[in-house]
Amino acid sequence: MTVNDLVERFGLQVVAGNQGLDRQVEDGYCGDLLSEIMGNAPEGCAWLTIQGHQNIVAVAVLRNMAAIIVAGGQTLDDETQQKANQEGIPILLWPDSSYQLAGRLFSIGIGNARVQ
């Protein structure tokens, strides 16, 4: 499943990093404490967070993520958008909570290979 598939399926708003929309989404991760994300987020994941400052792009690049999804109706700082465009990391907006979207992602098979 690509980032663009998620955009279409859940009506996410693409606000940066259009050039990365064909990235494969292998897994999912939630969290807002950047040091923790940096240590634990899986490669190729879609990361759900409420943070909007530019460090999120640095963390996403470091973990080779598929996309950042900014949840909770939060918005991005201007610099975040610029950095994400430079790095080709898609940033998508979701108006409801991380929990609500994480449940939907899981139910379509993202990140549930490890459960059985």
Partner 1 sequence: MRELSLHILDIAENGITAGADCIHILVEEARTTDRLIIKITDNGQGMPTEKIKKLTAPFVSSLTTRRVGLGLALLAAAAERCDGRLTVKTGTGTGTEVGATFRYNHIDRAPMGDMASTITTLIIGNPQIDFVYTHIIDGEEFTLDTRELKAEMGNLSLTKPVVIYHLTASIRNSLGKLIAKNGQ
Which residues of this chain interact with partner 1, rule CB under 8 A?
Answer: 33-35, 38, 50-53, 55, 59, 74, 77
Q: What is the torsional sign of CA 49, 68, 76, 40? A: positive
| Shortest distance in whole angstroms from residue 35 CB to partner 1 | 5
Closer CB to partner 1, 17 or 72, in the complex: 72
CA angle 11, 16, 17 (to 5 degrees): 105
Give the phi and the psi of residue 51 in degrees, each rounded to 5.
-75, 145
| Shortest distance in whole angstroms from residue 53 CB to partner 1 | 4
| Shortest distance in whole angstroms from residue 14 CB to partner 1 | 22
Closer CB to partner 1, 2 or 55, in the complex: 55
Exposure of 14 in the CB half-sphere (CA atoms within 13 A)? 19
